[in-house]
Amino acid sequence: MMTPHESFLRTHLLLQLLLPLGLSVHHPPHHLPVHLPTLVPHTPTPLARSRFSAQTQLDFTTHCNSSCFHREQEDQLSEKLAFETLYADGSRTLTTVDVEDDDEFEGDALHLRHPSPSRVLGWKPRHKRVRRQIYGADGRFNIHGDNFLLDYPFSTAVRISTGCTGVLVSQQHVLTAAHCVHDGKDYVNGARKLRVGFLIPPSINGTKTGLTSAKKPVVRWVRVKRTRVPKGWIQGPQEVSMDFDYALLELRWPHQRPFMRLSVAPSSDDLAGNRIHFSGFDSDRPGELVYRFCPVEEESSDLIYQHCDARPGASGSGVYGRVWDNSLERWERKVIGIFSGHQWLEIDGENRDYNVAVRITPLKFAQICYWVHGNRLDCVQD
C-alpha cells in the first residue's frame, strides 16, 4: 500500500506523462534543426601529475554583473573547449581541439552572447532573497521505495564520492559538475580515488519485507577510470568558468541501468510545460535521493536560471526537460544542463539571485559527445 507521499508523487509523475502527450498531438514545437559544430581533437600532450591539493566546495556560489554578463568568449572558443583527462593513476593529458564551422558558429554566438540583460533576463527590480537555494516553501520530494528508486528517470541519478551528484548519460559515463572534482586550479583531494555510487534499495539489499520503509538504501561504489574537464573551467575567472562547470567521468566497467540521453538545450518555450527537473543528493537529507521540478525563470546562451529548491550536494545533478524529438515525433526526457549552484546577478544596482544550471550548447554537446564516443563522426547529430 502506498503512503500519501508516494501517492502524491505518482500522481505528479502521471501528470508529467500526460501533459506532454497532449501537447505532442496538438502543439508540437516548430523549429529548425540545431547546427552542431564538429570538434577535431589533436594528439594529447602529457602533463605533470596532479597534486590533488584542492578541497571540494559543495556550496558553490558566484557573482555576476553587467561586465561579466557581456564578457566576450567567442574569440577563445577552441581554447576553452580544449580539455584535460585525469587517469586513475594520477597522470593527466591536455587535448587541444579545432572547431570546424568555427566562423559560422561564432557568428551565431556573437548574436546570442551579447543581448541586453533587461531583454534576456526580463530585468525587474526585486528585493534580494535571504534564504539561499530554498525559495519559499520547500518543494523537494524524497524518493522512497523500489518502485521509484529503480524506475527511470530516478535510476539515472548517482552519487559522486566527493559529495556531489551525477547523471548516467551512457552505459559507462556520468556527467557531473566540474567543481565537484576540480576547483579551477587543481583537482580536489577526493578525485585521487574517485568513485560513483549506485543506490541499492533495502529490499534488494536483503532487508526483510515490511522493514524496508524504515531502512535507507545502501550504495554500491564503482571506481572511475578517467575524468575529463574543459579548459574553460580550469583557466577562467570564476564568473566565466561557471559556464563551463561540467565534467565527464568514465567508469571502469559498464553499468546495467537505463541512462538519459543528452540534448542541446532548447529555448524554455520549447520545453514541455516550460519546466525543468532534477534529482540529487542534497546534503540536508543524508542518504536520500531528492527530486524537484520548477519552471525556467530566465535563460542566457550558457546558463539556465531557475528557483528549483536545492542544497549543497545536488551539484552535478542532470537537469532534464521534456524535449520534442523530431525523429520519434514525441516528447522525450533528455539532459539539457548540469546543476551548478547559486549565482547573484547585479544589474543596474539591483541584486537578483538564482539557482543556476549550465546549459548544454551545441559546442558543449559536441565536446561531451566526443568524450563519450571517442569518435567525432558519431557526434554529427543529436
DSSP 104: H
pLDDT score for 192? 94
SS3 readout for 314-358: CCCCEEEEEEEECCCCEEEEEEEEEEEEEEEEEECCEEEEEEEEE
The more confident residue out of 4 and 80 is: 80
For residue 289, pLDDT beyond 70: yes
Annotated domain spans of the chain = 40-70+77-97+136-202+215-379
More confident call, 361 vs 145: 361
Rounded CA gap, 68 and 143, in Å? 38
As a whole number of angstroms, the distance between CA 80 and CA 230 comes to 7
pLDDT tens, position by position, 171-217: 999 999 999 999 999 999 999 999 999 998 877 765 444 444 457 78
More confident residue, 21 or 341: 341
Query: Which residue in the block uniquely carries the three cell numbers 559507462?
Result: 172
Domain 40-70+77-97+136-202+215-379: which topology? Thrombin, subunit H (2.40.10)
Alpha-carbon gap, residue 323 to 304, rounded angstroms: 15
pLDDT of residue 276: 97
Please tell me the pTM assigned to this model: 0.84
pLDDT in tens, 36-67: 888 899 999 999 999 999 999 888 888 887 66
Q: In which band, very low, low, confident or very high, does the pLDDT at 29 lie, cut at 50, 70 and 90?
A: low
pLDDT category of residue 350 using cuts at 50, 70 and 90: confident
CA angle, 213 then 214 then 219, to 5°: 90
Q: Residues near 345 by Cβ (< 8 Å), separated by ≥ 6?
A: 64, 65, 69, 117, 121, 351, 352, 353, 354
Nearest CA to 166 out of 224, 211, 85 is that of 224
pLDDT band for 145, please (50, 70, 90 cuts): low
Structure-model confidence comparison of residues 166 and 34, the more confident one: 166
Nearest to 145 by CA among 215, 198, 221, 196: 215
The predicted structure's pLDDT at residue 237: 55
Name the DSSP letter for residue 183: -
Q: How confident is the model at residue 148 (pLDDT cuts 50, 70, 90)?
A: confident
* Greatest Cα pair distance in the chain: 62
**263 is written with which cell numbers?**
540534448
Give the amino acid at 153. P
Q: What is the mean pLDDT of residues 82-106?
A: 85
